[in-house]
Structure 1
């Protein structure tokens, strides 16, 4: 049995992981899908100062107060880019493995908002100004984003439209602050909207991708939508279940120590 903490990306809450959670619990795992502050059922807690630090604290407190150890920490999109590396950087002794779902860790000092092209950054800033009261990024047009996706379960787009909430904009503009402690942990990248080959090509030219090709990274391709918890929840759950079979961070550290001693 493994301890999973599942974190969604922009606009989503713990509800987005419902099918994946059920699959993992069916395997006997302890699963904690989390709605970050201001999202999902915690939408009423959003404030203008809800930022990345708030979301990092959400996860640290979950791990601390649930007394979780050997955690498989899973982050989709935004949560993978900045939240889970930050949590692991501050509490590496509690984390078994980091799983980035169609995402990768951004380098120290970079914010999620800076990841997009200049055109995307300008578009999002204008949406925040005109439709988000200057502090929120509204959800996207889900039907348009899913227009070429096949196999979405009935009702998925209705749920996305009904349950998505505006993203507190300060969570996107806060730079990530990392010491490097998280880099010692095993990392799995589940790639959906791009391939390993494309990712390696991007990492060779775009500094924001450099952590995706570091030592200790493994990869699984799951071609499909950027939101695989909706179009391929069973397949995603199977990959996460397999991820728990690897050595824990404590076991890996012990093995490295034994190798260094010549044993």
Structure 2
């Protein structure tokens, strides 16, 4: 049995992991979905000071003193999970990046996009938070989402604290050398890896282990059972 700390991406809360968590329980694991400060049922905690430090602290507090942990990051969560993984020491057995990759020291979410796109995002802010975009603007990333999953996203996603996009990831950023490192790559991300994108070279081979999942950017919604199966396989085949 493995303990999975499931950290959702931008706009999401623990709710996004519900079906994946249930599938992991059926496989004999202990899944623990997290809601980060300012999101979902914690939306009332949003404040100008919410940043990466806040979300790293959330994950560490949630982990407590439990050991043999598998830390799972979806999308945006790669940033705070990278920070938390480097601080969990011997508690951490494995880190899994789902359609995402670890951040380097000082890297910001805004560094992943052109300056004009970052400026456009700032123009969308409401009270320092970034609203969830219309689904028709998300193109191929919604592959695999049926009407029920799309409605769940539309009704459950909450504005994301933008300070988490603006802060560079603070040191330390490297987990222990014995921590198992895993990527779960969905369609678009797998294409980038296969194309040999230089920024991803460090994770496109050993010691990283890669599993591909033929779906869009939200596999916990589009393919929760298959995602749980890959996480189970990763935990059993270190």
| Structure 2 SS opposite 1:22 | helix
Residue 22 (structure 1) shift: 0.5
State the alpha-carbon separation in 2 of the partners of residues 246 and 105 from structure 1: 21
Give the structure 1 partner of residue 180 of structure 2. Answer: 186
State the alpha-carbon separation in 2 of the partners of residues 148 and 37 from structure 1: 25
Give the structure 2 partner of residue 167 of structure 1. Answer: 160
State TM-score, norm by structure 2: 0.92
- Whether contact under 8 Å (1:111, 1:173) holds in the other structure is yes
- Whether contact under 8 Å (1:195, 1:221) holds in the other structure is no
Q: Which moved more, 1:148-157 or 1:168-177?
A: 148-157
| Structure 2 SS opposite 1:155 | helix
Query: How many equivalent pairs are there?
Result: 237
Residue 149 (structure 1) shift: 4.8
- Select which of 95, 100, 108 maps to 1:98: 95
State the alpha-carbon separation in 2 of the partners of residues 245 and 11 from structure 1: 31
- Whether contact under 8 Å (2:89, 2:176) holds in the other structure is no
| Structure 2 SS opposite 1:127 | coil
Per-residue CA shift, 1:89-123, capped at 9, x if unaligned? 11121111110000001211111111112232122
Residues 1:28 and 1:88: Cα distance change in structure 2 (over 3 Å): same
State the alpha-carbon separation in 2 of the partners of residues 148 and 40 from structure 1: 21
Aligned runs of 1:1-263 on 2, under 5 Å? Answer: 1-64=1-64, 67-80=65-78, 82-128=79-125, 132-133=126-127, 135-145=128-138, 149=142, 151-182=144-175, 184=177, 185-194=179-188, 196=190, 198-199=192-193, 201-204=195-198, 206=199, 209-213=200-204, 215-247=206-238
- Whether contact under 8 Å (2:145, 2:222) holds in the other structure is yes
State the alpha-carbon separation in 2 of the partners of residues 148 and 182 from structure 1: 29
Residue 179 (structure 1) shift: 3.0
Residue 25 (structure 1) shift: 0.7
- Whether contact under 8 Å (1:203, 1:213) holds in the other structure is no
| Structure 2 SS opposite 1:48 | coil
Residues 1:171 and 1:202: Cα distance change in structure 2 (over 3 Å): farther
Residues 1:170 and 1:151: Cα distance change in structure 2 (over 3 Å): closer
The runs of 5 or more residues in structure 1 that have no matched partner are 248-263
- Whether contact under 8 Å (2:182, 2:209) holds in the other structure is yes
Residues 1:216 and 1:163: Cα distance change in structure 2 (over 3 Å): same
State the alpha-carbon separation in 2 of the partners of residues 43 and 180 from structure 1: 27
Residues 1:177 and 1:203: Cα distance change in structure 2 (over 3 Å): farther
State TM-score, norm by structure 1: 0.83
Q: By percentage of residues, which structure has more helix?
A: 1
Residue 147 (structure 1) shift: 7.5
Greater Rg over alpha carbons, structure: 1
